[in-house]
């Protein structure tokens, strides 16, 4: 399916340029191609030629000026302008301006798009936090009721949409493109064929096909390697392996099997633990300063740090209950401070630029958990920890969410993002209700029961709430991504297919 999509994409572009080159199109009377790749109905190409080379600025107008989306393209005679950020089932004015010259406005209309226009329950934002940015919602699975990725502007209006369920994180790469799971589910419930590098038009530039499939997370390593969470080559266990490969050739440079550095029989077991899914690795982070990987193992309520070259354990953060004493004595971080709490069922591990660790602590201790807490007494939080690996100590330096209690309790998925010392985004992405009360069920089991899935996202700075978004549906992660196509130059070209196998 994915490789055919690449062929279809090139065919679309060649046909578009053949039509364009056979006509006479000007800025006043351009060629307009709506939803060119049949994936993003809130996009279009506007094509025209000019007598001399000129830079072009584009302003895709919002419902008010604060939601305008702007960018400028380099000087050329042939202009294939990517227009994205159109409004859902509505008209959008698009201003096209010559450098130091005239401005022409074209009105583009989208209609008949099947998507819940009332997906936003409540939205408030200081316009500056989304100035020329979109708030992108990423979906965890391909089968929930709300399973399509989309983005909001500073007014909470839908300005971007993919009509197929590309899933897992949407993260901007160093090259300016966006990486996302293909959504091509190979194994239930959410293991997909690999990842795409796309741009805002949802043009696919690279397809990374991974034989052992992709789930949850990835991270760039150096200039030309990609680390991807995957499965082992056999099917005896799941979500307990990773692969690192060359992004040009697909050559595998590392493949880790987690049992090589941790013994599953000597670890803590959450209520979700099983011999098959003992780790449930849902996040990874590479720290170039320490040359280490930090891994989140949800089904062990555990975060651990491992030397990237040797696979030697450096430290472990976990409630010690259930662990063998040899691990506790040798690797465990010792809590300091009055407000320290362990994480349970955590997600979204990362580090900021001063070495503090961020975690979304789902604080999930559900029905089968050895330390069960009813959902109505539960809470989730974004949290930052200061770690001293030499002294093997850890303390809490910031947290948000505990005081909100059960109303935003998110037993799974969810996200936290650091911007500066007291400026953070916390996404409670996995909240579920039944009969107006917080539910004991979530994720696939909640979906089967027909629970009401919702999410809450907050951006907070020095105690001030800069953004609050309450939406229908559960969402894996939420990111603010700049409205810009880096180094843009349109060229019909077959997307690169990198096959990762060894």
- pLDDT per position as a tens digit, 119-131: 999 999 999 999 9
Separation CA 108–CA 275 (nearest Å):
54
Whole-structure pTM over 0.85, yes or no?
Answer: yes
- The model's pLDDT over 459-478, given as tens digits with 9 standing for 90+, comes to 999 999 999 999 999 999 99
Exposure of 377 by Cβ count < 10 A (0-12 exposed, 13-18 middle, 19+ buried)? Answer: exposed
Residue 291 located in a structural domain: yes
SS (H, E, C) 382-447: EEEEEEECCCCEEEEEEEECHHHHHHHCCCCCCEEEEEECCEEEEEEEEEEEECCEECCCCHHHHH
> CB within 8 A of 103, min separation 6: which ones?
95, 96, 97
SS3 328: helix
- Per-residue pLDDT, 387: 98
Residue 384 located in a structural domain: yes
Q: Are residues 52 and 132 in the same domain?
A: no
Whether 475 and 135 have beta carbons less than 8 Å apart is answered as no
Q: Are residues 329 and 244 in the same domain?
A: yes
Q: Are residues 390 and 448 in the same domain?
A: yes
Residue 502 located in a structural domain: no
Residue 493 located in a structural domain: no
Q: Are residues 67 and 175 in the same domain?
A: no
- The model's pLDDT over 56-81, given as tens digits with 9 standing for 90+, comes to 999 999 999 999 999 999 999 999 99
Q: How many other β-carbons are positioned within 10 Å of the β-carbon of residue 299?
A: 23
Residue 492 located in a structural domain: no
Separation CA 474–CA 137 (nearest Å):
9
Q: Are residues 41 and 100 in the same domain?
A: yes
> CB within 8 A of 234, min separation 6: which ones?
none
The conformation of residue 203, written as its DSSP 8-state character, comes to -
Whether 17 and 501 have beta carbons less than 8 Å apart is answered as no
Whether 383 and 359 have beta carbons less than 8 Å apart is answered as yes
Q: Which is nearest to 222 in space by CA: 274, 153, 288?
A: 288
Q: Are residues 399 and 445 in the same domain?
A: yes
- Over its length of 502 residues, how does the chain's per-residue pLDDT go in tens digits? 678 999 999 999 999 999 999 999 999 999 999 999 999 999 999 999 999 999 999 999 999 999 999 999 999 999 999 999 999 999 999 999 999 889 999 999 999 999 999 999 999 999 999 999 999 999 998 889 999 999 999 999 999 999 999 999 999 999 999 999 999 999 988 999 999 999 999 999 999 999 999 999 999 999 899 999 999 998 899 999 999 999 999 999 999 999 999 999 999 999 999 999 999 999 999 999 999 999 999 999 999 999 999 999 999 999 999 999 999 999 999 999 999 999 999 999 999 999 999 999 999 999 899 999 999 999 999 999 999 999 999 999 999 999 999 999 999 999 999 999 899 999 999 999 999 999 999 999 999 999 999 999 999 999 999 999 999 999 999 999 999 998 899 999 999 999 999 8
Examine the fold and report which residue of 99, 114, 129 is the final residue of a domain before the chain moves on.
114
Q: Are residues 355 and 387 in the same domain?
A: yes
Q: Are residues 94 and 134 in the same domain?
A: no
Examine the fold and report which residue of 114, 129, 152 is the final residue of a domain before the chain moves on.
114
Here the CATH number for the domain that contains residue 468 is 2.120.10.30
Here the CATH number for the domain that contains residue 55 is 2.60.40.3100
Cis peptide before 189 (omega within 30 of 0): yes
Separation CA 452–CA 463 (nearest Å):
30
Separation CA 89–CA 70 (nearest Å):
21
Domain residues for 174?
A: 120-482
* 158-161 and 150-152 strand pairing: antiparallel
| Phi, psi for residue 487 in degrees, rounded to 5 | 50, 45
Separation CA 301–CA 269 (nearest Å):
8
Question: In which order are the strands placed within the sheet that holds 281-287?
Answer: 281-287, 292-297, 302-307, 313-318
The H-or-E segment that residue 61 falls in is none
| Residues making up the chain, counted from first to last | 502
Whether 266 and 285 have beta carbons less than 8 Å apart is answered as no
C-alpha pair distances (Å), 162 with each of 59, 144, 189: 21, 15, 20
Q: Are residues 242 and 282 in the same domain?
A: yes
> CB within 8 A of 471, min separation 6: which ones?
119, 120, 121, 137, 454, 455, 457
Residue 488 located in a structural domain: no
Q: Are residues 131 and 235 in the same domain?
A: yes
Residue 345 located in a structural domain: yes
Q: Are residues 313 and 361 in the same domain?
A: yes
Whether 107 and 62 have beta carbons less than 8 Å apart is answered as no
SS3 43: strand
Q: Which is nearest to 383 in space by CA: 343, 353, 420, 332?
A: 343
Number of compact structural domains in the chain: 2
Residue 37 located in a structural domain: yes
Q: Are residues 79 and 207 in the same domain?
A: no
CA count, 13 A, side-chain hemisphere, 415: 28
**Sign of the alpha-carbon dihedral angle for 212, 213, 216, 218:** positive
Examine the fold and report which residue of 84, 114, 144 is the final residue of a domain before the chain moves on.
114
Q: Which is nearest to 90 in space by CA: 22, 30, 19, 161?
A: 161
């Amino acid at each position: 399916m994915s490789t055919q999509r690449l062929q279809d994409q090139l065919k679309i572009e060649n046909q578009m340029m053949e039509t364009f080159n056979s006509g006479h199109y000007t800025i006043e009377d351009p060629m307009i191609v709506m939803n060119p790749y049949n994936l993003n109905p809130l996009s279009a190409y506007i094509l025209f030629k000019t007598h001399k080379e000129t830079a072009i600025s584009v302003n895709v107008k919002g419902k008010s000026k604060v939601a305008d989306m702007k960018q400028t393209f380099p000087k050329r005679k042939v202009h294939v302008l990517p227009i994205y950020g159109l409004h859902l089932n509505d008209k959008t004015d698009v201003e096209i301006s010559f450098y130091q010259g005239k401005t022409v406005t074209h009105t583009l209309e989208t209609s008949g798009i099947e998507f819940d226009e009332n997906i936003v329950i409540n939205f408030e934002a200081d316009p500056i936090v989304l100035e020329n940015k979109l708030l992108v919602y990423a979906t965890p699975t391909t089968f929930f009721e709300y399973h399509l990725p989309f983005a909001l502007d500073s007014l909470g209006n839908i300005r971007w949409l993919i009509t197929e369920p590309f899933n897992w994180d949407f993260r901007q790469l160093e090259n300016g493109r966006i990486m996302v799971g293909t959504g091509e589910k190979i194994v239930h419930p959410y293991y997909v064929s690999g990842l795409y590098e796309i741009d805002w038009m949802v043009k696919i530039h690279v397809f990374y096909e991974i034989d052992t499939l992709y789930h949850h997370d990835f991270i760039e390593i150096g200039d030309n390697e990609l680390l991807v969470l995957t499965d082992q080559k056999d099917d005896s266990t799941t979500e307990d392996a990773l692969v690192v490969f060359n992004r040009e050739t697909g050559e595998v440079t590392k493949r880790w099997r987690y049992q090589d550095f941790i013994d599953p029989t000597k670890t803590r077991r959450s209520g979700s633990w099983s011999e098959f899914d003992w780790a449930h690795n849902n996040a990874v982070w590479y720290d170039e300063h320490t040359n280490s990987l930090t891994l989140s193992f949800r089904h062990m309520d555990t975060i651990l740090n491992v030397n990237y070259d040797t696979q030697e354990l450096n430290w472990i953060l976990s409630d010690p209950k259930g662990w063998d004493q040899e691990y506790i004595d040798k690797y465990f971080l010792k809590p300091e401070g009055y407000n320290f709490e362990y994480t349970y069922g955590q997600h979204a591990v990362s580090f900021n630029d001063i070495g503090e660790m961020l975690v979304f602590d789902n604080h999930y201790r559900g029905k089968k958990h050895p330390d069960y807490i009813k959902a109505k007494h539960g809470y989730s939080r974004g949290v930052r920890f200061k770690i001293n690996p030499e002294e093997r100590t850890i303390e809490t330096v910031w947290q948000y969410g505990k005081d909100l209690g059960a109303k935003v309790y998110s037993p799974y998925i969810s996200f936290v993002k650091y911007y500066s010392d007291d400026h953070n985004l916390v996404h409670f992405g996995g909240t579920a209700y039944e009969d107006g009360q917080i539910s004991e069920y979530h994720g696939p089991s909640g979906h089967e029961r027909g629970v009401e899935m919702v999410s809450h996202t907050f951006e907070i700075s020095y105690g001030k709430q800069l953004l609050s978004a309450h939406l229908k549906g559960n969402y894996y992660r939420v990111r603010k991504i700049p409205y810009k196509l880096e180094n843009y130059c349109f060229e019909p070209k077959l997307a690169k297919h990198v096959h990762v196998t060894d």
